Structure 1
Amino acid sequence: MASATEIVLPIGNQKHDPAWKHCLMIRSAGRTKLKCMYCMKLFLGGGIHRIKEHLARHKGNASCCPKVPLEVQQAMQQSLDGASVRKKRKIKLTDDVRKLNPSEVVSAAGDIDPTGSASLQIIPLNDMLDFTAVQIEAKEEDATTATASVPSKTTERGRKRRTKSSLQNSLGSPPFSENDGSLVNRINSAHVVDKEQVYMAIGRFFYEAGVPLDAANSVFFQPMVEAVAAAGPGLELPCYHDFRGCILKRSVEEVNFTLEHCRGTWSHTGCSILADEWTTAEKTFINIMVYCPEGTLFLRCVDATDIVTSSDTLYELWKHEVEEIGPSNVVQVITNNSDVHAMAGKRLNETFPTLFWSPCASQCIDDMLEDFSKMDSVIDIIESAKSITGFIYCYAPVLNILKKYTNGKELLLPIQSHAAMNFVALKSLACLQDELRTLVTSEEWIESPYSKKPDGVAVANLVVSLPFWNSCAVIVRITEPLVRLLKLVESNKRPAMGYIYMGLYQAKEIIKREFMKKSDYLPYWEVIDWRWARQLPRPLHAAGFFLNPQLFYSTQREISNEISSGMLDCIERLVPEPKIQDKIQKELNSYRIADRDFSRKIAVRARHTLLPAEWWSTYGGSCPNLTRLAIRILSQTCSSRGPDRNNVPFEQLHYEKINFSERQRLTDLVYVRYNLRLQQRKVSRSKCFDPISVDNQDVVDDWVLGHRMLFSPDTDCNWLVLNQPVPTELSFDDDAEAFIAGLDDDLIRGAGRGLEEDDEIKEEEDNRDTTTIFA
């Protein structure tokens, strides 16, 4: 382990060499060093290659590790051997290129010199082996990883079943071999493999194996293709038993290593236990995860069918999870919002007085939006909007015409929440209302048979209706703060604990500004209050507001009793030592008056640029006890919702008639697969989203079906004529940042005073204004 003067640095995803999994990166005395995880020897130079030699017990450049496990030693030896073989092969290919006569080189490269110049031109090998869409250039370290990730030694039976003609069978061209003739023949063969052939080969694999098509959206898809290309021709692929055996074993070890790395940060940042509950037709499952700023990790899936209705059994489950992770590390346990979970959470608070139980904020906000969508003034507008999208998505020619005016944009945008989908869709329609009007007034529409259909006439009348669009705009304005807050809560860019209190106040304030009359906005307020405040008090959220420097200093120190009490509750609960509590109380005064480092100009500017926890870590050195508490609170999430669960065999995992050893293997498979899904959520990317795809039917089904079934006899539904959707940038993080940017000082001051106090102040101001007018 690192000493008190050493800081363990995170090893980024760009470190691909397998030896990185068996060492630590240490920052000490201003220098970065590597340390062996087994014998704790420090290396001041030589890089990862020297660590690899140390683990492989190579004598010469590095000392031999006395504690390295045998399997790790063998893996490092294989990696070194593979790098040596590739280096010799690269030297040999370079020599072969030099030996070629000039005409062969030019011909192989497809660049014939019309002048017939006899001067020898050395063309880079990667330029000659042009795979178009398949990139084969890679660093030596990446190539080492690609080769090492595929076991070089498998069972004899598995190797006999493998054939080297697989590439030929899938691409229609002969495979490359080390002894298949001159280099020119290999170069000419490479040009046979064009982009379309590669795409067809991948497609045939997807279709025949039944791979879900949304697997192409995986962030690991492109790296897999590049790793195969970088390994070069003749790669022997792993067999069925390799994927179930050694490869799965190494993947489990990778996830375990990540878990141990995160575990090392829990004592500093704290962590949250997440219980993501979901149901199928017959069973109820709970996915247990743990969150910290380093990421979210999946631990296990529990069949909760028989325990979900009992607060006692749920309490025992949460108690077991807290004890396994360590009560001193856990800041909160986030679960479902039901009364049964609240009772179990109350018992948990009594058993562990140093942590909180919290209901899931995502579910609370989802329920608010669901209740909004059922109000009489809202449901009619939503149904009218669904008739527009349902008609357009039911007729391929109409959809193609619309995309001409929207530059390929879809009417519907991706979001995980079914309830939020109603209001995200309304906003999207409102943003594209000009394009929709252009559609129904264009000659293509008027001359098409779809404009004569009764549904088409009704859609056209709606699109040109000004009252309809005004109503859409009002609904979008009153729900946009909640939708953005939901995206902030589920964002991976910043923990939401420092903003959730502010977000709820903003939602209520904007609703009030929109309707003005108390009788108009009160029904919406009652929904928010009932969904949010029906359970236990939430001092963590109030303390998050208090400790967020951007919000606290904008209130001009006018803090409501609810926020101050929440902060004191957190001090008493999360800091059990009375002496430390007293020190924090004294340090709070320095924070309130912005004393010491808090008053620096750079610290004042950083209130709006740094994440709240980072701000405390940077400028809170003069208040160490308060800083530790602030970081633990501000580093937490507010949601227990995990990524999508499609194609993860959770139900199969709990089948009774499974061999015990196979159940263990399936447990590891689910463990690896779901944690890789969690890793994907951290990567901002463009995703191919098609609203009519069966992959998205759970969220958008009633927005794309219209009044008829999609394949009814009188519907023109030829998917072959549909224009291909364009990639859609996932905007969760962007919307979360837009929420932060939209906070003004007046709004923050109102949130600091609290809704009730703010209302009293405004009523007094209104009364004074009225008195002045009549005077």
Structure 2
Amino acid sequence: MDSSGQNSTSTPSTRGKTDPAWEHVTEGRAHDGKKTFTCLYCGKITKGGGINRMKQHLAGKSGEVRPCKKVPADIRFRMEECLKAIREKKRPSEEAYEQSIPYGLGIYQFEGDIGYDDDDDEVEEIIFQKNKGISINEGGDSGNKKKAAMTQKKKGKAPSNIGHYFATRTTVGSQPTIKSALAGKQAVRKAHMIAAKFFYDACIPLNAVNSIYFQPMFDAAIAIGAGYKVPTYHQFRVPLLQDLKKELELFIATLRTTWADTGCTIMGDGWSDRRHRTLINFLVYCPRGITFVKSVDASDAVKDAQLLFKLFQEIIEWVGVSNVVHMVTDNGANYVAAGRLINETCMTINWSPCAAHCLNLILGEISKMTHIHDLAIRASKVTRYVYNRLWLVAWLRKRKGWAKIVRPGATHFATTFIALHSTHKHMHDLKALVTSKDFVDSRYAKEKKAKEIIAIILDNKFWNDCLIIDKIVEPLMRLLRIVDGDVKPSMGYVYEGIYRARIGIKKVFLNKRRLYKLYTDILKQRWDNQLRKNIHAAAYWLNPAFQYDQVSFCRKPEVMSSFLDLVDTKATCSKTKLLDESRLYRDRLESFGRELALTTCKTTQPEKEDPPLLDYDELEQMLNEDGSTPQSKRQCNRPQDDGDDDAILEIGDDIDLECFGNTNIIDEPNAQDGRDDSENNEDENEDDWLTRGLSRN
């Protein structure tokens, strides 16, 4: 019987129907001839779309069709698995399609400026064949497909590095990509929240976002695409760590060429960890950065000069004797003895103690003075009393501009003076606290300890002493900040910084020798016995920030003599050529005489590829601010500034400098008649200790 002529509105058609969804759908035709699909569970009838749309209906996927609410759970799960299998099957073809057209078919895929290489030496035309699941439809229902032949040509030129000359899209102030510009606020917030959840869940310190690798990590993931999977725990722990070690070894190998070209400095840092192990870290510095070499556990060894000398000798031989210009170590007696052995064995290497450690020792001796020690104890009592009572802290936080008071540290001497400076900054807040009605009426004012704290806070001499000691150590603290920084080399500032620190101390006491001598003697002793070396004066002479400063450059013979001594004893190249070039530099001849060289001598450092975070002007300003630097001309004998001290100092006229500390330490005859001791002949050439004996080092 021929059934072809029958016109049924709902007839099951299973011929060639292998999709499992046909078991739950019936196929028919509407009156207009279009195919219809009817769900066996809810009776939903759809026109067009094929079985895939009905599969989404049965799986409960909203979007193209309304989900079925009556389908059994097992059938829904089966349909979901079928859709998932289809997506997995299509993924390779979709990835190949995205790679073949990096700019995509719409604005949402325009990512050509994120993560793609700038190599323009390969041009590809790719055919998109229908039988491979990749097609481009044009003309709506016409179904016409365009096909192009695949060709690939490679040119023999090197990859382009033009991207190195432009900032990446993720740098601050760069132009956003089209995709990121069109992204909604909700999408951006969602990405931010996911990153925040990761940080909070893993208890990662928030300063990790300041890592130079933080943003590139996201850039690399975006360049791969949405299917990127992060490394596993094992990959982080073993293979990636090994690969990074190899990468660092290659990087250090490239640095060796820099060591040979520019020379380097070896630094030996001894310290003790929490397990009380004595460790010695060895680092190598060159203009391209600092490299960690190795760490030695010397806990079970006698750390005498011979042992340290052998350790230093191994590092020197590994780096190369001809590549080492300078060696910096700790200030201990054993390190000093080892440094002398290095000078005797390796004639071309300059040894000097750590300038930061020397300055810390100077601050340590000043902090041990009786009147300063007592002042620090009184300030510590105030901070402890306040921070042990939450109500007082809450009251102070309501004050405008309130910031936390820094408390003295147990080991770092500088923190004592930082704490005194911080306490003095909160003088008005603390006075307002103890005189407020809220405090007077509270139970805290009736405590036994409160009487002592109130007396300290309302004592004007306490605050005057804090201000004076802050001004005394301020030039030393500024110099410590310079030599202890990692931004740029500080050797060229040590010699000038010591001089300016001494002048700053003298100006605090209005050049009265019997008042400042106790502090300048400490500075002089450490400079003479520990820190002062020929290399400091030579670095000062070679620093263009000072050499080309006609107003304040020191022209004492000892400075030039130190430079010539280094040339005579340490130089390995042609000494005649070196002296000829130094003459061109000193007299500003040839290229040194250009206006560009003169204007950039304080702001440009040739060996730095990136702009420095601190330029010479900022470093100069650190030493110049608040009276730490004389403003007068300094010629051969560096006379003291006889200018207006009151204009330089920021200490009020009501502060009595005679009452600071013990004024009877130095009892001199001319101190009785009240004359300025700066006119004493004994102090006339006192600044000679800065350069005295430099030629002997």
Give TM class, smaller chain: 0.5 to 0.7
Q: Does 1:510 align with 2:504?
A: yes
* Change over 3 Å in CA distance of 1:382–1:766 after alignment to 2: closer
Aligned counterpart, 2:238: 245
Alpha-carbon RMSD across the aligned residues, in angstroms, is 4.5
Alignment equivalent of 1:276, drawn from 269, 290, 305 = 269
Asked if 2 retains the 8 angstrom alpha-carbon contact of 1:272 and 1:331, the reply is yes
Q: For residue 351 of structure 2, give the secondary structure of its aligned residue in structure 1.
A: strand
5 Å matches for 1:301-320?
A: 301-307=295-301, 309-320=303-314
CA distance in 1, matches of 2:462, 2:562: 44
Aligned counterpart, 2:519: 524
Aligned counterpart, 1:140: 115
CA distance in 2, matches of 1:445, 1:137: 65
Asked if 1 retains the 8 angstrom alpha-carbon contact of 2:545 and 2:616, the reply is no
Asked if 2 retains the 8 angstrom alpha-carbon contact of 1:274 and 1:288, the reply is yes
Amino acid corresponding to residue 274 of structure 1 in structure 2: M
CA distance in 1, matches of 2:410, 2:540: 27
Asked if 1 retains the 8 angstrom alpha-carbon contact of 2:380 and 2:407, the reply is no
* Change over 3 Å in CA distance of 1:389–1:241 after alignment to 2: same
* Change over 3 Å in CA distance of 1:399–1:594 after alignment to 2: same
CA distance in 1, matches of 2:209, 2:462: 36
Asked if 2 retains the 8 angstrom alpha-carbon contact of 1:506 and 1:751, the reply is no
CA distance in 2, matches of 1:142, 1:533: 58
Aligned counterpart, 2:561: 565
Q: For residue 405 of structure 1, give the secondary structure of its aligned residue in structure 2.
A: coil
* Change over 3 Å in CA distance of 1:198–1:357 after alignment to 2: closer
CA distance in 1, matches of 2:617, 2:99: 47
5 Å matches for 1:215-614?
A: 216=208, 219=211, 222-223=214-215, 226=218, 230=222, 235-280=228-273, 281-307=275-301, 309-407=303-401, 409-412=403-406, 418-515=412-509, 516-535=511-530, 537-552=532-547, 553-554=549-550, 558-577=554-573, 580-611=574-605, 614=606
Asked if 1 retains the 8 angstrom alpha-carbon contact of 2:632 and 2:641, the reply is no
Asked if 1 retains the 8 angstrom alpha-carbon contact of 2:512 and 2:677, the reply is no
TM-score in terms of structure 1 length: 0.55
Unaligned segments of structure 1, at least 5 residues = 1-80, 99-121, 127-135, 145-186, 618-634, 636-678, 685-730, 768-775
CA distance in 2, matches of 1:188, 1:591: 58
5 Å matches for 1:621-640?
A: none
Per-residue CA shift, 1:176-210, capped at 9, x if unaligned? xxxxxxxxxxx99979958666534432322xxxx
* Change over 3 Å in CA distance of 1:205–1:766 after alignment to 2: closer
* Change over 3 Å in CA distance of 1:237–1:751 after alignment to 2: farther
Alignment equivalent of 2:622, drawn from 739, 763, 771 = 739
Give the superposition deviation at 1:365.
0.7
Q: For residue 347 of structure 2, give the secondary structure of its aligned residue in structure 1.
A: coil
Amino acid corresponding to residue 562 of structure 1 in structure 2: E
* Change over 3 Å in CA distance of 1:745–1:262 after alignment to 2: same
Give the superposition deviation at 1:406.
4.6
CA distance in 1, matches of 2:278, 2:456: 42
CA distance in 2, matches of 1:373, 1:214: 35
Aligned counterpart, 2:201: 204
Asked if 1 retains the 8 angstrom alpha-carbon contact of 2:265 and 2:325, the reply is yes
5 Å matches for 1:56-95?
A: 85=95, 88=98
Give the superposition deviation at 1:538.
0.7
Asked if 1 retains the 8 angstrom alpha-carbon contact of 2:221 and 2:228, the reply is no
Amino acid corresponding to residue 520 of structure 2 in structure 1: W
CA distance in 1, matches of 2:327, 2:343: 10
* Change over 3 Å in CA distance of 1:396–1:198 after alignment to 2: farther
* Change over 3 Å in CA distance of 1:537–1:471 after alignment to 2: closer
Give the superposition deviation at 1:444.
4.4
5 Å matches for 1:647-726?
A: none
Q: For residue 353 of structure 1, give the secondary structure of its aligned residue in structure 2.
A: coil
Asked if 2 retains the 8 angstrom alpha-carbon contact of 1:405 and 1:439, the reply is no
The structure that has the greater radius of gyration is: 2
Larger deviation, residues 239-248 vs 483-492: 239-248
Q: For residue 493 of structure 1, give the secondary structure of its aligned residue in structure 2.
A: coil
Give the superposition deviation at 1:502.
0.8
Give the superposition deviation at 1:322.
0.9
Q: For residue 492 of structure 1, give the secondary structure of its aligned residue in structure 2.
A: coil
Q: For residue 362 of structure 1, give the secondary structure of its aligned residue in structure 2.
A: helix
Aligned counterpart, 2:166: none
CA distance in 1, matches of 2:636, 2:424: 33
* Change over 3 Å in CA distance of 1:588–1:222 after alignment to 2: closer
Same amino acid, percent of matched pairs: 29
* Change over 3 Å in CA distance of 1:189–1:565 after alignment to 2: closer
Give the superposition deviation at 1:355.
1.0
Q: For residue 281 of structure 2, give the secondary structure of its aligned residue in structure 1.
A: strand
CA distance in 1, matches of 2:326, 2:226: 52
* Change over 3 Å in CA distance of 1:196–1:243 after alignment to 2: closer
5 Å matches for 1:729-768?
A: 736=619, 738-742=621-625, 746=630, 750=634, 753=637, 763=680
Larger deviation, residues 750-759 vs 465-474: 750-759
TM-score in terms of structure 2 length: 0.61
Amino acid corresponding to residue 478 of structure 2 in structure 1: R
Give the superposition deviation at 1:361.
0.8
CA distance in 2, matches of 1:509, 1:86: 72
* Change over 3 Å in CA distance of 1:393–1:607 after alignment to 2: same
Asked if 1 retains the 8 angstrom alpha-carbon contact of 2:282 and 2:294, the reply is yes
CA distance in 2, matches of 1:248, 1:477: 49
Give the superposition deviation at 1:226.
3.6
Give the superposition deviation at 1:354.
0.7
* Change over 3 Å in CA distance of 1:221–1:86 after alignment to 2: farther
Larger deviation, residues 249-258 vs 280-289: 249-258
CA distance in 2, matches of 1:401, 1:562: 58
Give the superposition deviation at 1:287.
0.7
Amino acid corresponding to residue 140 of structure 1 in structure 2: G
Asked if 1 retains the 8 angstrom alpha-carbon contact of 2:327 and 2:351, the reply is yes
Asked if 1 retains the 8 angstrom alpha-carbon contact of 2:278 and 2:299, the reply is yes
Q: For residue 498 of structure 1, give the secondary structure of its aligned residue in structure 2.
A: helix
Asked if 1 retains the 8 angstrom alpha-carbon contact of 2:488 and 2:612, the reply is no
Asked if 1 retains the 8 angstrom alpha-carbon contact of 2:546 and 2:552, the reply is no
Asked if 1 retains the 8 angstrom alpha-carbon contact of 2:267 and 2:282, the reply is yes
* Change over 3 Å in CA distance of 1:249–1:763 after alignment to 2: same
CA distance in 2, matches of 1:409, 1:370: 26
Amino acid corresponding to residue 523 of structure 1 in structure 2: L
Asked if 2 retains the 8 angstrom alpha-carbon contact of 1:311 and 1:340, the reply is yes
Q: For residue 324 of structure 1, give the secondary structure of its aligned residue in structure 2.
A: helix
CA distance in 1, matches of 2:591, 2:617: 31
Asked if 2 retains the 8 angstrom alpha-carbon contact of 1:311 and 1:344, the reply is yes
Give the superposition deviation at 1:601.
3.5
Per-residue CA shift, 1:615-655, capped at 9, x if unaligned? xx8xxxxxxxxxxxxxxxxx9xxxxxxxxxxxxxxxxxxxx
CA distance in 1, matches of 2:572, 2:217: 53
Give the superposition deviation at 1:506.
1.3
Per-residue CA shift, 1:55-99, capped at 9, x if unaligned? xxxxxxxxxxxxxxxxxxxxxxxxxx99x949718979976xx7x
Higher helix share: 1
* Change over 3 Å in CA distance of 1:602–1:223 after alignment to 2: closer
Unaligned segments of structure 2, at least 5 residues = 1-90, 120-183, 643-675, 685-697
Asked if 2 retains the 8 angstrom alpha-carbon contact of 1:557 and 1:592, the reply is no
Question: Relative CO higher for 1 or 2, CA cutoff 8 Å, sep ≥ 6?
Answer: 1
Give the superposition deviation at 1:220.
5.4
